[in-house]
Amino acid sequence: MIFVVELPADAEPRAWFAYDAGDLLRKVAAGDPLPAWQVHDCISLRELLDLDDETPDSPGAEQRHPALFALAAQHGWEAKLYRADHLLPPGSYRAEPVSEAEAAEAALRARGPCRIYWSEAEATAAFERRDDPAWQGSGWRAHQGLREQLVALEVLADDC
Residue 149 placed within a domain:
yes
What whole-number distance in Å separates Cα of residue 23 and Cα of residue 111? 18
Q: Is residue 37 part of a domain?
A: no
For residue 2, which of 36, 32, 27, 35 has the smallest C-alpha distance? 27
Residue 153 lies in a domain: yes
State the SS3 of 94-150: ECCCCCHHHHHHHHHHHHCCEEEECCHHHHHHHHHCCCCHHHCHHHHHHHHHHHHHH
Per-residue pLDDT reduced to its tens digit, 14-64 = 999 999 999 999 999 999 999 999 999 999 999 999 999 999 999 999 999
- Domain limits for position 160: 1-32+99-160
Note the pTM of the prediction, 2 decimals: 0.86
Count of structural domains within the chain: 1
Q: Is residue 89 part of a domain?
A: no
107-158 per-position pLDDT tens digit: 999 999 999 999 999 999 988 988 888 887 778 888 888 989 898 887 877 7
